[in-house]
Structure 1
Amino acid sequence: MFTNLTLAALLALAPAAPAALTAHAAPSEPDDLTTSDVSFRTGDGITLGGTVFAPRGASGGLPALLLVHGSGTGGPGFRKQLRGEAEAFARQGIVVLAPDKRQDGYSPFQRDFAQLADDALAAFAVLRARPEVDPAKAGIWGLSEGGWVVPVAAAKSPDVKFAVLAAGSGVSPIRQQSWNVANKFAWSGIGGSLSRTFPTTWQRMVADAGMFGGAHHDPVPVLRNVKQPLLALWGAEDAAVPPAESAEIVRDTLSEAGNHHYTIRFIPDAPHAMHRSDPQGKRLPDLMPGYADAVGDWVDAVTSGNPPRAVVEPLPRQENRSSEVTPSAWWESAPVQFGVLGLFVLLFGAYPVLALLRRRRAGTWPARVAVVAGVVGSLGTVGYLSTLMFSLTANGIEAGPLLGDRPVVWLALQLVAVAAVVATVLLAVRWRASTDRLRHGLVLAGGVLFVPWALYWGLLLP
């Protein structure tokens, strides 16, 4: 799921965005389907396009399904990301609209699920007006990030007669992303403090800095307002969204709200998007066996007036539960953290600057070590954590060579942090006897501040 930070990576943070397609010739129309291009206008005046897929020879009265994208920055032609689903569902006797996704007002830094829901409803109105469609049999399907969008749209409009969530998350985007990234660390064989710092502490600061749009969106209050029949599916092997946990949340929320027309299913052996994948984990166009049939059979039952009631398949094994990622306390906030980095540069940097201005010797070795280690430890840590955002892959994270289960770069930063602490202690012992208390006092202040900072970021933890 927004997967996805500097956010080519963030929306890998979220989850859940399919990789951008490379330029190819337009695929030919399938023999058993017809396609037609349409356009629709959003509430803020943006014109977007889409493609309608319908069974060949369809004349009217068919159920309809609007597809809502997972994460990704959209643009013209983005509908191609959903062609596999569109064709497979159309072969189930459903008229399907695969729309493009907005670029304006949407980025890894800015995600407004209510706005995306309004876009979906604008496209939905076009689909319902199609001559092949019975508007009383029209619903909306959403993949991954779309699992946060579709309930908003369903709660807003009674025209939405049913909803389908595919790999939707029952937890907030930042909680889902933290769980997703922790899984990638485990697959990559990385343990220790970095495996806790990056998935949680770093993600929280990125969200607090405004670089993770919609990070703390709570899907539960929205689900309470969904009164339509709902189908929720997950891949049994989903490692981007916690499948069993999300299923429990959907089941319990709808039941408590009085909506018992829900069905919860799991596609055996399927990964996050429920597509086939190659040995390297790259998503292929074809859907996993049984997925399209599950959607088609359920839509047929609902639109025939027989919505299944409280059907829940056995939950798949989910080894690790997700953990709540609370908003930052004031001292954890991005402005404070960036301010502390600035203080390190000022306090440690004052030592050589004052030496030049006052033409003093370089000073004592504990002070020199504290200065170098403090600057390298603080700026190096932020730099390394930033590079990890670009290192997330489908199957893990490229954190550099490992020594045991620890990245060598992280171990080096931890050694530098230990050196800074030791040098600070020695400097404190010698400070009263110093002939240059001002310079040494500034370095000592930086070293004292460095200790809790390094503990918070895991540099002084195993």
Structure 2
Amino acid sequence: MKAVVWSLTGLLLVTAGLGAVVIWQNSYNIREERVTIRQGGDALDGVLATPKEGRGPYGLVVFVHGDGPVDATHDTFYRPLWESFARAGYASLSMNKPGVGGSAGNWLDQSMEDRADETMAAISWARKRPDIDSRRIGLWGASQAGWVLPKVAARTPGLKFVIAVSPAVNWQQQGRYNLLAQLREDGASAEQVDAALRRRETTLQLLRRGASFEEYRTEVGDAQGMTADRWRFVSKNYTADATADLRAIRGTPVLLILAGHDINVDVADTETVYRKLLPGPGPGLQVEHYPDATHSLVKHGVEQSEVRVTLTALFAPRALFAAGFLADQRRFLHHVDDDSKGGTA
């Protein structure tokens, strides 16, 4: 009986210790405030994360999400970034997508124009707050945000910077690259690749003639996860291309972040286009490569294992990201601030 008691006591102590580690590792040196912004008659809720030290006014990083039903914290994935930006004297603003959390609407009803309008509304809201320095507001966005960030930057006078993480340039080129890369990773045969490309071409033809979801399902057969809402979203956005908007933001400091294990976006093509359209170095374009990172900038070895992802997220969430990812963005913000003061980067 004594042995059982001591064993249970030891188990409880270990469990309590592990719980304490999880709480400690998932505590961040930021203050979080729930906020609501009105856009187009709808209310979007989200989070304003500010540094714990000081009372501002702080610079601001406005987050623009990638694809999917993303909440304000991206299932807590953003918090290490918010903490890192806070160390540079910046607050972070991130909203639940429409239809997510308490935000009204449906994100699948949005075009990239709608997403840009939503982001501009968030900037306008932030500029009215006394704890935000309206001269030091910039954008952070990942993946699908690549079509939103340049659009917002081109239309927003005085925007301080853009941080673009794994962005694509052309929707259709990105889709083809992603399809082929995924097929290679899955070990698809030549026949399977040909069939997938034929299916893709049929889909594009249907999109070009404005076909309904019912027509798509009839023509293609197995919808493979496509829904009526998703078909409507793709129909609105499949012609998206960031080229013209990128040309319009020359002179805005841009940090382009690219991963070495990205099967979603052709990073070589993205870098070529950004370097062609945006001047650098100096106050223009800065490019950072992370050879060991995936599309989400998580370490490749970690993302390959569900067990490692789960344990790292619980016990060391800041270690999810590729080495240097957080520090390089913080350094970029310091350089942007130094340049605006007439200092040297």
TM-score by length of 2: 0.72
Query: How far apart are 1:117 and its partner, in Å?
Result: 0.8
Instruction: Identify which range, 299-308 or 30-39, moves more after superposition.
Output: 299-308
User: Counterpart in 1 of 2:122?
Assistant: 123
Instruction: Look up the SS of the partner of 1:268 in the other structure.
Output: strand
Q: Is 1:102 matched with 2:98?
A: yes
280, 283, 297: which one aligns with 2:305: 280
Flag the 1:252–1:278 CA change in 2: closer, same or farther, 3 A.
Answer: closer
User: Contact conserved, 1:79 with 1:101, CA < 8 A, in 2?
Assistant: no
2:274 to 250, 258, 272: 250
Q: CA deviation at 1:302?
A: 0.9
- 2:14 corresponds to: none
1:289 is aligned to 2:313: no
Contact 1:112 1:214 in 2 (8 A): yes
Measured against aligned partners, the alpha-carbon deviations of 1:59-91 in whole angstroms (never above 9, x if no partner) come to 224321011100113568767553343333334
Q: 1:237 to 1:306 in 2, by over 3 A?
A: farther
- Counterpart residue identity of residue 250, structure 1: Y
Counterpart-to-counterpart distance in 2, 1:35 and 1:127: 15
- Offset from partner CA, 1:385-419 (integer Å, 9 cap, x none): xxxxxxxxxxxxxxxxxxxxxxxxxxxxxxxxxxx
Aligned-partner SS, 1:50: strand
Partner residue of 2:30?
33
User: 2:336: which partner in 1?
Assistant: 302
Q: What one-letter code is carried by the residue in structure 2 that aligns with 1:204?
A: L
Work out whether residues 48 and 76 of structure 1, in 8 Å CA contact, stay in contact via their aligned partners in 2.
no
Secondary structure of 2:92's aligned partner: strand
Q: Distance in 2 between matches of 1:77 and 1:186?
A: 32
Which residue number in structure 2 is paired with residue 57 of structure 1? Answer: 53
- Displacement of 1:176 in angstroms is 0.6
Change (3 A) 1:52 1:29: farther
Output the CA distance in 2 between the equivalents of 1:307 and 1:148. Answer: 30
Aligned to 2:64: 68
* Residues in 2 aligned to 1:54 and 1:86: alpha-carbon distance in whole angstroms: 8
Q: For 1:444-455, what aligned pairs fall within 5 Å after superposition? A: none
Q: 1:224 aligns with which of 218, 225, 247?
A: 247
SS at match of 1:98: strand
Q: What are the residue-to-residue correspondences of 1:427-442 with 2, within 5 Å?
A: none
Between 27-36 and 132-141, the greater mean CA deviation after superposition: 27-36
Structure 1: distance between partners of 2:142 and 2:206: 24
Opposite residue 297 of structure 1, the aligned amino acid is: R
Conserved? CA contact 1:37–1:52, under 8 Å: yes
The aligned counterpart of 1:438 is none
- Greater radius of gyration (CA): 1
Distance 2:188 2:26 in 1: 46
Q: Could you say if the C-alpha distance between residues 139 and 96 of structure 1 is closer, same or farther in structure 2, counting changes exceeding 3 Å?
A: same
Call closer, same or farther: CA 1:216–1:73 in 2, change over 3 Å: same
Does the Cα contact within 8 Å between 2:162 and 2:253 map onto a contact in 1? Answer: yes
Q: 2:47, 2:24 → 1: CA distance? A: 12
Aligned to 2:223: none
In 2, Cα distance between the equivalents of 1:174 and 1:77? 29
CA contact (8 A) 1:64 1:128 kept: no
* Cα offsets for 1:325-362 (capped at 9, x unmatched): xxxxxxxxxxxxxxxxxxxxxxxxxxxxxxxxxxxxxx
Sort the Cα spacing of 1:187 and 1:307 in 2 relative to 1 into closer, same or farther, 3 A: farther
Q: Which residue of structure 1 aligns with residue 195 of structure 2?
A: 197
How far is the alpha carbon of 1:270 from its aligned partner?
A: 0.6
The structural deviation recorded for 1:260 is 6.5
2:28–2:80 Cα contact (<8 Å) kept: no
For residues 88 and 106 of structure 1, the distance between their equivalents in structure 2, rounded to whole angstroms, comes to 28
Question: Which ranges in structure 2 are unaligned for 5 or more consecutive residues?
Answer: 1-22, 100-104, 213-230
Count of residues in correspondence between the two structures: 279
Structure-2 residue corresponding to 1:179: 177
Q: Give 1:31 shift.
A: 5.1
Equivalent residue, structure 2, for 1:158: 157
Task: State the percentage of identical aligned residues.
Answer: 22
| Secondary structure at 1:305 match in 2 | helix
- Secondary structure at the aligned position of 1:301 is classed as helix
Q: Distance in 2 between the 1:293 and 1:77 partners?
A: 20
Choose 182-191 or 27-36, whichever is displaced more: 27-36
Change (3 A) 1:90 1:207: farther
Please, what TM-score do these two structures have when normalized by structure 1? 0.55
Q: Normalized per residue, which structure has more helix?
A: 2
* 1:188 partner amino acid: D
SS for the counterpart of 2:195 is helix
What does the per-residue CA deviation read over 1:131-189, in whole Å, with 9 as the maximum and x for residues that have no partner? 4332111101111111110111111111322111111112x222212211111111111
- Partner Cα separation in structure 2 for residue 176 and residue 307 of structure 1: 38
Trace 1:198-213 onto structure 2 (pairs within 5 A): 198-199=196-197, 200-205=200-205, 207-208=207-208, 209=211, 211=231, 212=234, 213=236
Match of 1:215 among 238, 246, 262: 238
Q: Distance in 2 between matches of 1:75 and 1:62?
A: 23
1:55–1:91: 8 Å Cα contact kept in structure 2? yes
Q: CA deviation at 1:242?
A: 0.7
Alpha-carbon distance between aligned partners in 1 of 2:72 and 2:321, rounded to the nearest angstrom: 24
**CA deviations over 1:171-224 (Å, ceiling 9, x no partner):** x22221221111111111112233133144255246444622411112101111
User: In structure 2, what residue type is equivalent to 1:280?
Assistant: S
Q: Any residues of structure 2 matched to 1:110-149 within 5 Å, and which?
A: 110-149=109-148
Distance change in 2, residues 1:255/1:78 (3 Å):
closer
Residue in 2 aligned with 1:410?
none
**In 1: Cα distance, 2:160 partner to 2:126 partner:** 13
